[in-house]
């Protein structure tokens, strides 16, 4: 077992991936040994560790109308050239291949900010017409929801996750560099009124900024019937400025909440869901904690990701990508595209590797991958 002490891959782990052993996988990693033989001839998006991806996360654009400090610099980023971004027909073709050939049953539209993508409603309507119809959700910063919620629901969107890190307008402006707190609050109400439920709220706590607001955020969500999810800050910012010491851990979040609420583990099976759920004061209301760093859940991961410029990422933290855009634009048939996608997922690493000394933060930032 010497290799582990040195942080080197020991047995069956892919180069650069976290070390695993035959007997006791690291917490949150797939149990058992990776398949070392050739990929079996299976239609779905399987990987060497026996996981199957059925949840497709689609970044519709890398652009955003907020400038969250833990995501990008105030001046924004060099956005993807328009010529490299998939057009609606290309995007729908890949969604169709995913649903009809690869066993995708869930779609999550993300960004950047997905509502900045022109024609998002027609993309949703096109996906809703597929058979079997995929479940569809969106992760949004909420700006624009007061105008768009009804149309998104009419197009076929099932539900939303809205990002909200604070109940204080000044702190919101400090965190996002935009004075738009009221628009998010009103956007949440519009989403609920449009039936895009359950409305889930995603919150990231930053040490010394908004970490004192955990109870206030939960109280607000309980009062409005929103399902709150706290997410540990991850090393995916464009500035590469993430520091573990600044991250509020899952343990700390539960401690903060425990000062006001009685939390008990939710008994329903978790499956591949990122959030660890807790009943609040005996339920039925719950709160979720997504401990990506300190409580990883890669062992049951069922996600595959498509970027706005047509790249497949087998993991949020992948450092390699598979280019489907070039295949789309060189007239390759659907089955060959499906095969390339299967190949990309077969090589998925056991986990994100953040807790591994050899961890490399991906070049592509979160704003261009999507949640
Ligand atoms: S870090 Fe990667 S493997 Fe782990 S849960 Fe997220 S996408 Fe899946």
CATH number of the domain to which 345 belongs? 3.20.20.70
| The predicted structure's pLDDT at residue 38 | 87
Q: List the domain range (segments joined by +) for residue 128.
A: 5-369
The total number of structural domains that make up the chain: 1
Q: Is 109 near ligand 1, meaning CB less than 6 Å away? A: no
Q: Is 49 near ligand 1, meaning CB less than 6 Å away? A: no
| The predicted structure's pLDDT at residue 24 | 57
* pLDDT > 90? residue 20: no
Nearest residue (by CA) to ligand 1, atom 1, is 352
Query: CB-based burial of residue 318 (10 Å sphere; 0-12 exposed, 13-18 middle, 19+ buried)?
Result: buried
Mean pLDDT in residue range 281-285: 96
Question: In the chain, where does DSSP find H-type helix?
Answer: 2-6, 88-101, 120-128, 145-155, 169-176, 181-193, 214-224, 250-258, 325-328, 334-346
* pLDDT > 50? residue 251: yes
The three-point CA angle 65-68-70 to 5° equals: 150
Mean pLDDT in residue range 129-148: 98
* pLDDT > 90? residue 12: no
| The predicted structure's pLDDT at residue 11 | 40
pTM of the model: 0.92
For 165-200, how does the pLDDT look when each residue is reduced to its tens digit (9 = 90+)? 999 999 999 999 999 999 999 999 999 999 999 999
User: Phi and psi at residue 312, in whole multiples of 5°?
Assistant: -90, 130
CA of 272 to the centre of ligand 1 (A): 10
Nearest residue (by CA) to ligand 1, atom 5, is 298
């Amino acid at each position: 077992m010497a290799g582990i002490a040195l942080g080197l891959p020991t047995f069956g782990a892919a180069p650069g991936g976290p070390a695993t052993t035959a007997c006791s996988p690291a917490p949150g990693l797939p149990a058992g040994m990776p398949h070392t033989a050739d990929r079996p001839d299976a239609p779905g998006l399987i990987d060497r560790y026996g996981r199957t991806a059925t949840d497709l996360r689609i970044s519709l654009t890398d652009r955003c109308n907020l400038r969250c400090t833990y995501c990008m610099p105030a001046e924004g980023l060099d956005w993807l050239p328009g010529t490299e971004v998939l057009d609606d027909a290309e995007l729908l073709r890949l969604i169709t291949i995913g649903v009809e050939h690869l066993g995708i049953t869930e779609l999550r539209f993300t960004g950047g900010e997905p509502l900045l993508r022109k024609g998002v409603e027609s993309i949703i309507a096109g996906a809703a017409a597929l058979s079997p119809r995929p479940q569809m959700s969106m992760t949004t910063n909420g700006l624009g929801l007061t105008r768009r919620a009804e149309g998104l629901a009419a197009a076929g969107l099932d539900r939303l996750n809205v990002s909200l890190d604070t109940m204080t307008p000044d702190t919101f402006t400090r965190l996002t560099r935009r004075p738009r707190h009221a628009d998010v609050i009103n956007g949440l109400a519009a989403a609920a009124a449009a039936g895009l439920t359950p409305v889930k709220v995603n919150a990231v706590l930053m040490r010394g900024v908004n970490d004192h607001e955990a109870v206030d955020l939960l109280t607000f969500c309980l009062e409005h019937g929103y399902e709150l999810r706290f997410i540990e800050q991850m090393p995916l910012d464009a500035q590469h400025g993430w520091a573990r010491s600044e991250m509020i851990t899952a343990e700390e979040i539960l401690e903060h909440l425990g000062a006001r609420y009685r939390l008990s583990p939710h008994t329903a099976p978790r499956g591949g869901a990122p959030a660890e759920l807790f009943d609040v004061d005996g339920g039925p209301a719950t709160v979720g904690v997504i401990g990506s760093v300190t409580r990883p859940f890669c062992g049951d991961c069922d996600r595959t990701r498509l970027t706005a410029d047509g790249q497949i990422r087998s993991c949020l933290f992948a450092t390699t990508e598979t280019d489907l855009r070039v295949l789309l634009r060189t007239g390759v048939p659907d089955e060959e595209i499906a095969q390339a996608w299967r190949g990309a997922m077969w090589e998925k690493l056991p986990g994100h590797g953040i807790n591994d000394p050899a961890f490399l933060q991906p070049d592509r930032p979160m704003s261009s991958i999507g949640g």
